[in-house]
Each structure stands twice: as structure tokens, then as C-alpha cells.
Amino acid sequence: MFRILAVAALGLGMLAAPARAQSTLDAVRARGTLNCGVNTTTPGFATIDSRGQWVGMVADLCRGMAAAIFGDATKVRFVPLTFATRFTALGSGEVDVLTLTSTHTVLRDTTLGIRFTTNYFYDGHGFMVRRSTNAQRVRDLAGASICILQGTTNEQITTEYFRSLNLQISPVLFAEQEQVVRALEAGRCDAYGMDASGLAAARAGLTKPDDWVILPERFSKEPYTIVVRRGDENWFDIVRWFTFALIEAEENGVTSANAQQMRTTATDPNIRRLLGAVPEVGQALRLDPAWALNAIRAIGNYGELYDRHFGPSTSVAMPRGQNEIWTRGGLMYAPPFR
């Protein structure tokens, strides 16, 4: 009798149990493309070139993730988002990952239903000023009109800094950096408050970049991170270790050109696990053993990625500084592949 009741209860429990939500990885595989949220017009990170192709660091990160998942870097759909709409788009499922330059903060990480994976770029808030203002320090901008991107941490930082000095400014808010560039050209703002990489990108887009100076002061820590929805640990692990793989590859001299050869010739166990010569990392992530190899062959290691979009020959040239790997004094550090 007790056994019959137990079986019946089990059956009722199975009927009552809600269907398990499809994992992000399974949804991406079923769809056949990775939906990736990106900046719209931010040189160095994401822009559309004259051929209609997305270019920039975050665009390449999207391609690298597609290569890791599908073995094909072209299986990505770029979804342009504004800073104001990015987290809503991620939470609603419009995108699978958010590579758009997003600073990891405690309130974002704990109140928005999202998770920040690992940092792919370190930056800091600064100001670019019209040379004719003769401003030497940011506090010299008292009474100035300052362009700011709405919905970013820069909006809060700018207003809090000048309030702390009891100085008045006139903030002019915009949704996208392209609008800011046009406003600067038109003389609507005396300065632009943004992360240093964004300032360099905006300056490169101006008709007369020499008319503008980026002041040396920095007012914040701005670690950019690929963001995913909360509640899918496997997807979180995939995106996090994808970023680590690019850093680990640079540290070990694995490049887009030699990765395939090193998979068969390397004797270092970490490199062999990284490149899928042994399968356990791919198995742990539910990916092909060659997931990292495919990503590195598609977009290169972290150093290649940085040099391609921020190196000295680019329009947004920026010294690597904190974005160097840890063995050269930077902050880029990957846990061991074991």
C-alpha cells in the first residue's frame, strides 16, 4: 500500500514539476547563431566599416565566441544597442551575451539579474577638452558644458566629482557617442566626460582632432566585462573561460598563426589542455575539445586582439598599460588550465 502511494505521489510530483528551461548554449546551438550585443559607433570597440562589416575588439570577441561554440566565426548576429537599453536587451533574451563596453559594478552585478564574467579591458574615466579653453586640470572646467553619455557610469562620476568641489557645470546628455562627436564639432560642448578609450575614439572621429586635448587625470576604475544573464552557470563558465583562453594563449606564445601546430607539438600540459590536445576542458564546458583552438585561430590571442584595434598603427592608438598581461606588469591574468 505504502509503495503504491509512494509511486503515485512520485507520478504526481513529476506531472507538477515545471519544465526545465532550455540552457543558453542549447538555445544558441538550436538557433545556429550567437546573438551578441555590441556598441554602435565606438572606434576600437565596434563600428561598421565601408564594406558594411562590424569591426573592433568587441566585434571580434563575438566572432571568437561563435568560433568556440560552432567552430565557425561567422555564426554571429550583431545586435547594436545603446548604453540605456543594453541590460534590458540582455535580460529579455534579445541577446545571448553583452560585449558592449560595460563596467563591472557591485549594484549592476547584484540587482539587475545579470552576471559579469571576467574583465577583457581596463579603463578609467577622464575628460577631453577643447584646446582653446586652456584647461590644465578638470577642476578648470567650472561652468563648462560637458557632453556625457546617458545611462553610463560616466554620467554619475561627472556629476559627483563637480558636486564634491561645489562647482557648477552644464551636462549635455546623449544616447550614443556618434551624437557626442557631432555635438563637439558643432561647438555645443566645451568638454566630453568618458572613459579614456572612448575619449580616444571620439577624438579620432573629429575633423580637427588636434583642437582637443585628453587631460591626464583619471577618476575611476572601469573594468569592462562580457555580461550574461544570471541563472545559467554553464553559459557563464563558457564566456568566462573563453576570455581567459585568449589571455592564456598570449602568455604561452600561442597565436592565430601557430595554434594548430602547437596543438600537436606542445609538451606543456596547460597548453595541451588549452588547445584541446586532451579533451577534459572542452568536456567540462560542454564544448568541442578544440573550442579554444578555434577561437584563437579566428581572432588571435589577447595581444593580437589588442594590437589590431588599439595598437600604434590604429586611429585609436592607446598604450596597453593595465591591459598588458601580468608577466609584463599589467592586470591581464588567467587562472591555470588544469
Q: Note the pLDDT of residue 241.
A: 98
Left if phi > 0, otherwise alpha if psi is -120 to 50, otherwise beta: which for 253? left
Point out the least confidently predicted range of 3-17, 152-166, 228-242. 3-17
The whole-number average pLDDT for the span 280-288 is: 96
More confident: 177 or 50: 50
Show the DSSP H helices in 252-290 as ranges: 259-265, 269-275, 280-285
With a pLDDT cut of 70, the percent of the chain lying above it is 94
Q: Note the pLDDT of residue 218.
A: 87
> What are residue 293's phi and psi, to 5 degrees?
-55, -45
Buried b (16+ CB within 10 A) or exposed e, 245-262: bbbbbbbbebbbeebeeb
Decide if 48 contacts 78 (C-beta within 8 A). no
Over residues 192-204, the pLDDT tens digits come to 998 898 898 888 8
Query: What whole-number distance in Å separates Cα of residue 334 and Cα of residue 325?
Result: 9
SS3 133: helix
More confident: 81 or 155: 81
Point out the least confidently predicted range of 148-162, 176-190, 288-302. 148-162
Over residues 56-100, the pLDDT tens digits come to 999 999 999 999 999 999 999 999 998 889 999 999 999 999 998
**C-alpha distances in angstroms, 101 versus 19, 139, 210, 310?**
35, 27, 26, 15
Q: Does residue 27 register a pLDDT over 90?
A: yes
Query: What whole-number distance in Å separates Cα of residue 47 and Cα of residue 120?
Result: 18
Single-letter code of the amino acid located at 309? H
Q: Note the pLDDT of residue 175.
A: 85
Q: Does residue 42 register a pLDDT over 60?
A: yes
Point out the least confidently predicted range of 125-134, 245-254, 258-267. 125-134
Work out the mean pLDDT of the chain and round it to a whole number: 90
The whole-number average pLDDT for the span 101-109 is: 93
With a pLDDT cut of 90, the percent of the chain lying above it is 70
Q: Note the pLDDT of residue 247.
A: 98
The whole-number average pLDDT for the span 171-184 is: 89
Q: Note the pLDDT of residue 4.
A: 43
Decide if 324 contacts 332 (C-beta within 8 A). yes
Query: Domains (ranges, CATH) in the chain?
Result: 125-220 (3.40.190.10)
Q: Does residue 2 register a pLDDT over 50?
A: no
Q: Does residue 148 register a pLDDT over 50?
A: yes
Positive or negative, the Cα torsion across 120, 39, 56, 262?
positive
| Residue 229 CB-density burial (10 A; 0-12 exposed, 13-18 middle, 19+ buried) | buried
The whole-number average pLDDT for the span 313-337 is: 94
Reported as a pLDDT band with limits 50, 70 and 90, residue 20 is: low
Q: Note the pLDDT of residue 16.
A: 43
